[in-house]
Amino acid sequence: MNNNIDIKKLAKETLTLEANAIQQIGERIDSNFINVVNLILELKGRVILTGIGKSAIIAQKIVATLNSTGTPAIFMHAADAIHGDLGIVQQDDLLIAISKSGNTPEIKVLIPFLKQMGNPLVAIVGNLSSFLATNADYILDTTVEREACTNNLAPTTSTTAQLAMGDALAVCLQESRQFSDQDFAKYHPGGALGKQLYLKVQDLSEQNGKPVVYVNSSVRELIITITKFRLGATVVLENEAIVGIITDGDIRRMLEKHEDTKSLTAQDIMSKNPKVIEKKELAIDALQLMRENNISQLIVVDEGKYDGIIHIQDLLKEGII
């Protein structure tokens, strides 16, 4: 171990080198890039990405990003392709090959077969005079001056440039398709991001009971109700209209103020004008309302009528927070 290394300085130099590389490839965005975006938008098939080594890993990440933003994509490993996986490629597909050198043995073997199939071939490549570049129909230039690796060997800056180019493609395609947050939710139903976009208040409140007392209910009745439903609160109704809410905090404050609670009723303890939310609203909006008012529960209503309670713990369980 070399204790003389300035780790902080080296880390900053690495990040600066990679940031500069991304900026430089951004300056090379040209008609090739625009044509590739338009070609993919009109594509009837899928985008198939291929590569070898670290470039293969980058290809897999780009595939994931494309799929999640509305562009059907699939990964085909360059080595496996020349041993049977070429059957993945269909007539209406577009191919993107990723390689820094553009001259790896697997790429040089694979490209002639891809050309024979007649599919459009896009190269994300860091060597414009390479075998891959000279055989591609479209070139996305990811040439970098050097790797961040101190030996200028390990793929670092080059793979960062490839990844950034893939992200640029995905974002342009996403915007061109007018891919909305609701579309995004369809592809991310199980994740926290997706839940923020589709999970409704009623999806959570329906799992809870509907604690309720009335304005003349006794302290004993309301404590039993709060304890039974374990939501830390109960709604107070008068003629089936919501007039207040009583929380655990209200009970504690009542006990601090009154030694004798026998004569008290719900209307003496409740907080008036409680915050409510329509059941069809998004759960993330309920969280925002709770945060704005520093509360842990919200009364859920259906067109103004009491429908249940949503608790901040419900949002925690779903990973919304």
**169 contacts 37 by C-beta, under 8 angstroms:** yes
Query: Which of 139, 177, 171, 168 lies closest to 35 in space, CA to CA?
Result: 139
Q: Map residue 280 onto helix, strand or coil.
A: coil
Q: Which CB contacts under 8 angstroms, 24+ apart, belong to 116-121?
A: 117/86, 117/89, 119/89, 119/91, 119/93, 119/94, 119/95, 120/39, 120/94, 120/95, 121/95, 121/96, 121/97
Q: Where are the alpha helices (DSSP H) in 118-235?
A: 131-135, 157-176, 181-187, 192-198, 201-205, 219-229
Bin 163: left if φ > 0, else alpha if -120 < ψ < 50, else beta.
alpha
Instruction: Specify binding-site residues.
Output: 77
Instruction: Specify binding-site residues for Zn(2+).
Output: 77
